[in-house]
Amino acid sequence: MKGRIAFQGEPGAYSHQACRQARPEMEALPCATFEDAIEACRRGDADLAMLPVENSTYGRVADIHHLLPESGLHIVDEAFVRVHINLLAVPGTRLEAVEGAMSHTVLLGQCRGFMKQHGIRPVTGADTAGSARHVSELADPKLAALASELAGEIYGLEVLARHIEDKSNNTTRFLVMAREPDLKRRGDDGMMTSFVFRVRNIPAALYKAMGGFATNGVNMTKLESYMVDGVFSATQFYADIEGHPDDANVQRALEELAYFTSYMKLLGVYPADPMRHGA
């Protein structure tokens, strides 16, 4: 599939890397915010949008679950991207010359061991790719950046040290969004179904709503709650389950869920990424 895929961040961001990995044939379109990436897809400036939803180290991405139900878009794929952090500097720089490293505060916190070992102080930047661009423009060998190899490629920086993150399994899950759903595909590694719902105001409603998945043998891989419109009494749940709504057991589980909910919205049906099962 050719066309454009929108992402939040500057060129070289890890979301850009996700676009390259999941849709290498498409042109990546950088956007300032998640809302801008969604809107670019919604109005047709892009065919798809790549949105991060959770990280194995830091949990879910703030605000994204609020945006998904109202986006008008549908999940058509997921992508798991390994977050490899690299020390990038202007060409010709020696590691011993680096005194500070700039990056987003989250990435700085993921490289404490390497930074301490080499006496490099953390310098907070707005984001990873922006930090790489700043280091390239400043051209001071004393300041390096922590970012992806893609960022180094884009901004003409050399990799002084590769994969310096403290946790070797750091992974971010992304969702690929489109204007139209695709319910016909069947993935080699199974299917995923994502939806949001609110339970009825009756005792043990959530417990009863979840019972249908257990009795029908449907594996729920994620269940998260979050407030709606900042009101403590209004809670919405986001869920991922294994299977397709056309599967008999999934169909029965969703019918039972509907009985105990006041609102339910399907967000997407899509093939499971092989990395979900450790491939």
Query: How would DSSP label each residue in the chain?
Result: --SEEEEESSTTSHHHHHHHHH-TTSEEEEESSHHHHHHHHHTTS-SEEEEEEEETTTEEPTTHHHHHHHS--EEEEEEEEE---EEEESTT--GGG--EEEE-HHHHTT-HHHHHHTTPEEEE-S-HHHHHHHHHHH--TTEEEEE-HHHHHHHT-EEEES---S-TT-EEEEEEEESS---S---TT-EEEEEEEEE-SSTTHHHHHHHHHHHTT--EEEEEEEEETTEEEEEEEEEEEES-TTSHHHHHHHHHHHHTEEEEEEEEEEEPPGGGGT-
Can 197 be counted among the known catalytic residues?
Answer: no
| Options 7, 34, 114, 174, the catalytic residue | 174
| Options 34, 93, 128, 172, the catalytic residue | 172
Can 171 be counted among the known catalytic residues?
Answer: no
Catalytic center residues: 172, 174
